[in-house]
Amino acid sequence: MIEIRGLRKKFGAVEAVRDVSFGAGDGTVVGLLGPNGAGKTTTLRMLSGLMRPDVGTIRVDNVDVVVDPIGVQTHMGLLPDSRGLYPRLTPIEHIEYFGRLHGLGGPALTARTRALVTRLDLNEIADRRVSGFSQGERTKVALARALVHQPRNVILDEPTNGLDVMSTRAMRELIHGLRRDGCCVLFSSHIMQEVSALCDRIVVIAQGKVTADGTPDELRSLTGRDNLEDAFVTLSGLEENS
Partner 1 sequence: MSTLRLVWIVLTKELRDGIRDRRSILSVLIVAALMPSLFGGMFTVMASRSKNAEEIKLPVAGVENAPAFVDWLKQQPGVEIVGAPADPEKAVRDRKEDVVLIIEKDFSRNMVRAVAAPVKLLSDSTRESARQKVNRARTLVTTYSSQLAALRLIARGLAPSVALPVRVEEVEVSSAQERLATQLNILTLLLVIAAVTGGMQIAIDTTAGERERGSLEPLLLNPVPRIALAAGKWLAASVFGCSAVVFSMLLTVNVLRRVPWQDMGIRFRVSDGDLMSLLGLVLPLALFLSAVVMFASTFARSFKEAQGYMGMLILLPLFPGVISMLYPLSNRPWLAPIPVFGQYALAADVLGGKPPVATIYVLAGVSALTCALVLVALTSRLLEREAIIFGR
Contacts with partner 1 by CB under 8 A lie at 45, 48, 50-52, 70-71, 73-74, 76, 78, 80-89, 93, 97-98, 100-103, 129, 142, 145-146
| 25: β partners | none
DSSP state of 129: -
DSSP state of 123: G
* Helix or strand run (H / E) with residue 108: helix 106-119
Sheet-wide strand order for 153-157: 63-64, 55-60, 2-11, 14-24, 209-214, 201-206, 29-33, 184-189, 153-157, 76-79
Residues 6+ apart with CB under 8 A from 230: 223
Shortest Cβ 107–partner 1 spacing (Å): 17
Torsion (CA) 196, 118, 75, 98 in degrees, nearest 10: -130
Shortest Cβ 238–partner 1 spacing (Å): 27
Query: Is the Cβ of residue 144 or residue 199 nearer to partner 1 in the bound state?
Result: 144
Shortest Cβ 28–partner 1 spacing (Å): 22
Which one, of 24, 66, 28, lies nearest residue 48 by Cα?
Answer: 66
Neighbours of 83 (CB within 10 A): 18
Query: Is the Cβ of residue 75 or residue 225 nearer to partner 1 in the bound state?
Result: 75
Shortest Cβ 215–partner 1 spacing (Å): 30
Query: Is the Cβ of residue 45 or residue 201 nearer to partner 1 in the bound state?
Result: 45
Query: Is the Cβ of residue 27 or residue 71 nearer to partner 1 in the bound state?
Result: 71
Shortest Cβ 59–partner 1 spacing (Å): 17
Query: Is the Cβ of residue 86 or residue 215 nearer to partner 1 in the bound state?
Result: 86
- Bridge pairing between strands 153-157 and 184-189: parallel
Which one, of 51, 37, 72, 63, lies nearest residue 7 by Cα?
Answer: 51
Shortest Cβ 47–partner 1 spacing (Å): 11
Query: Is the Cβ of residue 52 or residue 169 nearer to partner 1 in the bound state?
Result: 52
